[in-house]
């Protein structure tokens, strides 16, 4: 059984990222795959104020550890000012370098109230995860106009976007398993 973690990519209270994360978790559960959500609201920000890079930070280590040990990550990310939220960059910057993300399969879901569903934020994440030698699952999802277009029980109202989400949820576990069985399944990075 593979272990997947879903990262809810903002610390904004009552975020759409967390709503989408919970929905995606339910869909994986239907596929027989249990997941946990790593919620950026819970990041121990007080522990890193002032720049504590390289220091022993047990609370931060405990927080990031599930992502480090996961077989694959699903990142749900809103768009803030044409990019991804700062808290998500802080989280990434406190992941152990270089091994925590190297060869890690990562699926990306963007959500925003704009027309492009956080495409800019997702593509910026691809750049960062690419730098860290992660394996990005090619089927990305962009949820546009999320406030009207997403329902906690039914998912995305736009049928095309919903199909993309279901395709990602159906395909990502095999992508993770294939990489485990044959690391040369993908040769990039």
Q: How far apart are CA 118 and CA 79, in angstroms?
A: 5
Looking at residues 43 to 102 of the shown chain, list those that interact with ligand FMN (rule: CB under 6 A).
Answer: 78-82
Whole-angstrom CA distances from 80 to 14, 52, 114, 136, 160 are: 15, 25, 10, 21, 24
Binding residue (CB under 6 A) for ligand FMN from 5, 6, 7, 15: 15
Please identify, using beta-carbon distances, which residue of 15 and 168 lies nearer to ligand FMN: 15
Binding residue (CB under 6 A) for ligand FMN from 112, 134, 156, 179: 112
146 binds ligand FMN (CB under 6 A): yes
113 binds ligand FMN (CB under 6 A): yes
138 binds ligand FMN (CB under 6 A): no
Give the tokens for residue 49. 């104020």
What is residue 116's three-state secondary structure? coil
Whole-angstrom CA distances from 85 to 126, 135, 178 are: 14, 21, 31
Q: How far is the CB of 74 from ligand FMN (least distance, A)?
A: 15
Residues touching ligand FMN: how many (CB under 6 A)? 15
3-state secondary structure 53-121: CCCCCHHHHHHHHHHHHCCEEEEEEECECCECCHHHHHHHHCCCCCCCCCCCEEEEEEECCCCCCCHHH
11 binds ligand FMN (CB under 6 A): no
Stretch of 41-49, 112-120, 122-130, 172-180 lying at the interface with ligand FMN (CB under 6 A) = 112-120
16 binds ligand FMN (CB under 6 A): yes
* Residues engaged in binding ligand FMN (CB under 6 A): 10, 12, 15-17, 78-82, 111-114, 146
């Amino acid at each position: 059984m593979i272990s997947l973690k879903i990262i809810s990519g903002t610390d904004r209270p009552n975020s759409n990222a967390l709503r989408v994360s919970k929905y995606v978790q339910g869909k994986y559960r239907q596929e027989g795959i249990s997941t946990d959500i790593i919620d950026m609201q819970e990041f121990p920000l007080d522990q890193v104020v002032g720049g504590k890079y390289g220091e022993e930070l047990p609370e931060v280590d405990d927080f990031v550890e599930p992502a480090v040990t996961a077989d694959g990550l699903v990142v749900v990310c809103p768009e803030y000012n044409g990019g991804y939220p700062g808290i998500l960059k802080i989280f990434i910057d406190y992941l152990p370098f270089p091994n925590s993300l190297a060869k890690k399969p990562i699926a990306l879901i963007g959500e925003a109230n704009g027309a492009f569903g956080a495409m800019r934020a997702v593509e910026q994440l691809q750049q960062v995860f690419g730098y860290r030698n992660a394996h990005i699952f090619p089927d990305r999802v962009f949820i546009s106009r999320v406030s009207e277009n997403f329902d906690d029980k039914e998912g995305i109202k736009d049928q095309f976007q919903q199909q993309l989400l279901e395709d990602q949820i159906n395909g990502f576990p095999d992508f993770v398993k294939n990489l485990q069985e044959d690391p040369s399944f993908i040769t990039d990075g």
